[in-house]
């Protein structure tokens, strides 16, 4: 059995293997495993993605759908020592922005919840700042906020992995 660090951040681009790597890390610990899903099934394509992830994880995973109140969910789930996987912070940020929530307060709340959480936690986030500059203000704001969120969490994480073509690269 492998021991997970208290906080791991797994970054990468689209289809880089982030979720699969994060699931493998959590599954290296004894079950039960808790999966905090931030995605919302707002269209058929997203419903199919969610179904694919659920099938891949199997029945040993306990799923908690948390599109916005991530800090509260981590606080609640931290009362049990089972590892937690949050997939993904980028969708959580999208939900916050589209719902016009206070981003600074939400990020600070997440950091506070993570700082006192006892079980190992693996966070998944997209690295969105490696491409072209988006053409509209909302997309640029999203890219900037995602980059800031990733920086804040990388600073407090015990381990940071960057996924490239399905391969994990240790950043921290």
d(CA 115, CA 98): 27
Contact criterion met (CB below 8 Å) for 149 and 160: no
Q: What is the pTM assigned to this prediction?
A: 0.93
Out of 53, 64, 80, 101, the active site residue is: 53
Positions of the chain with pLDDT under 50: none
pLDDT at 82: 94
- pLDDT for residue 58: 80
**Residue range 72-98, pLDDT digits in tens:** 999 999 999 999 999 999 999 999 999
Q: What is the pLDDT of residue 39?
A: 87
Provide the angle, in degrees to the nearest 10, between the axes of the packed helices 103-116 and 137-156.
20
pLDDT value, residue 40: 84
pLDDT of residue 130: 87
Q: Are strands 159-164 and 84-87 parallel, antiparallel or unpaired?
A: unpaired
Residue-level pLDDT at 1 = 57
Amino acid 120: pLDDT: 97
Residue-wise pLDDT tens digits, 36-59: 999 888 889 888 888 887 788 888
Task: Please report the pLDDT score of residue 83 as a whole number.
Answer: 97
Active site residue 53: yes
Spatial separation of the C-alpha atoms in residues 122 and 19, rounded to whole Å:
10
């Amino acid at each position: 059995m492998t021991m997970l660090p208290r906080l791991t951040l797994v970054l990468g681009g689209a289809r880089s293997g982030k979720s699969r790597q994060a699931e493998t890390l959590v599954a290296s610990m004894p079950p039960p495993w808790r999966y905090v899903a931030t995605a919302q099934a707002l269209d058929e394509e997203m419903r199919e993605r969610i179904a694919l992830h659920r099938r891949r994880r199997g029945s040993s995973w306990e799923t908690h759908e948390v599109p916005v109140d991530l800090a509260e969910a981590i606080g609640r789930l931290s009362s049990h020592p089972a590892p937690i996987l949050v997939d993904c912070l980028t969708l959580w940020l999208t939900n916050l922005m589209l719902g016009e929530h206070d981003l600074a307060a939400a990020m600070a709340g997440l950091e506070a919840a993570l700082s006192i959480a006892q079980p190992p936690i693996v966070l998944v986030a997209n690295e969105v700042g490696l491409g072209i500059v988006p053409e509209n203000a909302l997309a640029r704001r999203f890219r900037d906020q995602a980059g800031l969120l990733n920086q804040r969490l990388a600073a407090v994480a015990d381990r940071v992995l960057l996924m490239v073509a399905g391969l994990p690269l240790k950043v921290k």
